[in-house]
Structure 1
């Protein structure tokens, strides 16, 4: 006999509070089989398994966007070993994409060096997708994985991918290639003519192509500037906020991030802990928080003290938040812990998380940028 669950019971079945569970159910609705009875929605045992997998992935430190990416790219893991492998793969990928290495960055071909090889790939007049072009040019320049994945400083954008994108834009803007469908390009007659020009004319045209700038990139740069300014402003307000208000803010943030129902502890009996996140209604699995305002670095002794406070509570999970930053010793100590998990969040990361989860910020203006819907023009 099949068992059908409401959202509330589905959340409880994996140990999440109703509020927390509802948020995750909504975000991953397409992956949870359900049955509609009028306005009521009921979930199956398979839905429970999916939500349980999501919970395990979230406990490994992955956010909803990263979990969605795993589901879309690799499907839903069916076993513990498969889940472990996917977490490791995702973590490894994230680390490789979040590293700037000056020596490797200097080996990436420039836009000027990419232009002719890209046109040469396209000279067969066949349509090429961006993926095909990226792969083709990576092979042409003999780029390894490190070279393909190296990013700009303080960015998640791959240098090689960015330069490929800029080259496509400038060639399209000057009429040497056409975007014939979404992310698919084809050489034009002018592009073929450029390939047959003499060396001097080609060199002059390449110089002109380098000057063509994608306005979307300018917008992105300005958005990054605005975000960095907002992070700095938030940090200043956090440092000036009353210590009790800071504790309330971090509890609200953790609750908004979907970790469970939170509360600020009573100062007379907090044991050095500032907040508790109850991952289930009975408080069987709690996350303890410590939020402190510091101007100087937070070192290993402070993290060890927090670890001791967790031990006194018999707790296995803790989040240490500071408005400043952690020393290398503090980070290494937290990483080496085996009996418990302590997450360290410095000031800049705290501000970024507040922005991502709409804590302490408002939407000033929404800008919508549109592009051609190629599918709209297909058919007779």
Structure 2
């Protein structure tokens, strides 16, 4: 990459996103993407482009914007291609990790179990990045992929990362570690002294540390509750909108999610939808969409999904998205999973409403809360 300055449009084009999609990602990650001002215009550098490409790779690995934000909060922005590849492989999403499993959750170390190992990892007094410490904790506890990536039920929060964040907050608040740079930590004298205490004293202190709660954790839990309530109310609205409006909503959502330019291909009052998302400007690769606006108790069975699959064959298509405001039967899910010549994604009512909330379709911002943090670069010598 050279030192040429790029506009937001040009940068999006190089990355492979539409202008609208690129603008959306820049907006969400503006704190991570460097800018310069040239002739009174905001421009982007080769480093900006590298970070945008990294974000796209993370998205292609199955991660959503909120998930990527949480990972960056824990790990920071990778400094080179090697670090990028490590993070992409570490957090790459596999369907197996999307299903909550109580047994797997029980094998993930608790915050109390991680307190002392966290300090042991940095006891030499050197500064360590958050990602380095997290990786060492994974090695220390011999965690597999399922343990590292398992999410809490009905949320996008990764259990292990959430607990690491809580450990870090507690140790920092009680002055056992200090943040010497953004997402970079070292042990304090108090931390060293704690490691030298007797096992009984360490146990007592860990019990106290576990009581320390990050205010952000409480805020996020309440926001999750509000989001779930909003999604429930949104789903009720979806089940009552006119079928024409429903068609427009579904296509708008998929377009906002960055899959390309969408359009409704026909208007027939059958409470279904035939839409197409053009993944490129020439329409060389299309995603076909069908939706069923059903009541909550009216399921979509295997026969309906199989019929949609046949319609895709008629168009010579390999990609399809089937959306319903109700739910899919197990037979329908298994049929879609076993397809080999094409890929059909099934989105039920609950997921549909949550996607609309996440991508600001059909919702307005009610309140905005800003949480500020130290700008470590501000205090550096010129």
Bin for the TM-score computed over the shorter chain: 0.7 to 0.9
Which of 327, 336, 347 is the matching residue for 2:338? 336
Shift of 1:321: 1.2
When normalised by structure 2's length, the TM-score is: 0.72
When normalised by structure 1's length, the TM-score is: 0.72
C-alpha offsets along residues 238-258 of structure 1, whole Å, 9 cap, x if unaligned? 112223322222133233334
Q: Which residue of 2 is the match for residue 374 of structure 1?
A: 376
Partner secondary structure for residue 362 of structure 1: coil
User: Are the aligned partners of 1:116 and 1:195 in contact in 2 as well (CA < 8 Å)?
Assistant: yes
User: 1:40-55 maps to which residues of 2 (within 5 A)?
Assistant: none
> Which stretch has the larger CA shift, 180-189 or 98-107?
98-107
Distance 2:311 2:348 in 1: 20
Cα–Cα, structure 1 residues 331 and 191, in superposed 2: closer, same or farther, change >3 Å?
Answer: same
User: Are the aligned partners of 2:322 and 2:344 in contact in 1 as well (CA < 8 Å)?
Assistant: yes
Q: Which residue of 2 is the match for residue 23 of structure 1?
A: 20
Q: Which residue of 1 is the match for residue 123 of structure 2?
A: 123
User: Are the aligned partners of 2:97 and 2:151 in contact in 1 as well (CA < 8 Å)?
Assistant: yes
Cα–Cα, structure 1 residues 209 and 316, in superposed 2: closer, same or farther, change >3 Å?
Answer: closer
Distance 1:265 1:274 in 2: 6
C-alpha offsets along residues 326-365 of structure 1, whole Å, 9 cap, x if unaligned? 1222122223334444332211221122223322111112
Q: Which residue of 2 is the match for residue 253 of structure 1?
A: 253
Aligned CA RMSD, in angstroms, stands at 4.6
C-alpha offsets along residues 180-215 of structure 1, whole Å, 9 cap, x if unaligned? 111222222222233333444333322211111000
> Which stretch has the larger CA shift, 191-200 or 233-242?
191-200
Shift of 1:61: 8.2
Cα–Cα, structure 1 residues 72 and 323, in superposed 2: closer, same or farther, change >3 Å?
Answer: farther
C-alpha offsets along residues 251-306 of structure 1, whole Å, 9 cap, x if unaligned? 332333342241251328x9975434456778676544322122232110111222
> Which stretch has the larger CA shift, 270-279 or 96-105?
270-279
User: 1:50-199 maps to which residues of 2 (within 5 A)?
Assistant: 93-95=93-95, 97-199=97-199
C-alpha offsets along residues 150-202 of structure 1, whole Å, 9 cap, x if unaligned? 33223343333322221121111112221111122222222223333344433
Shift of 1:223: 1.3
Which of 345, 363, 366 is the matching residue for 1:364? 366
User: Are the aligned partners of 2:257 and 2:359 in contact in 1 as well (CA < 8 Å)?
Assistant: yes
User: Are the aligned partners of 2:63 and 2:92 in contact in 1 as well (CA < 8 Å)?
Assistant: no
Partner secondary structure for residue 301 of structure 1: helix
Which of 288, 302, 306 is the matching residue for 2:308? 306
Structure 2: unaligned runs, 5 residues or longer: 1-7, 27-32, 44-48, 72-76
Q: Which residue of 1 is the match for residue 217 of structure 2?
A: 217
User: Are the aligned partners of 1:96 and 1:149 in contact in 2 as well (CA < 8 Å)?
Assistant: no
Distance 1:62 1:137 in 2: 22
User: Are the aligned partners of 2:151 and 2:158 in contact in 1 as well (CA < 8 Å)?
Assistant: yes
Distance 2:145 2:279 in 1: 39
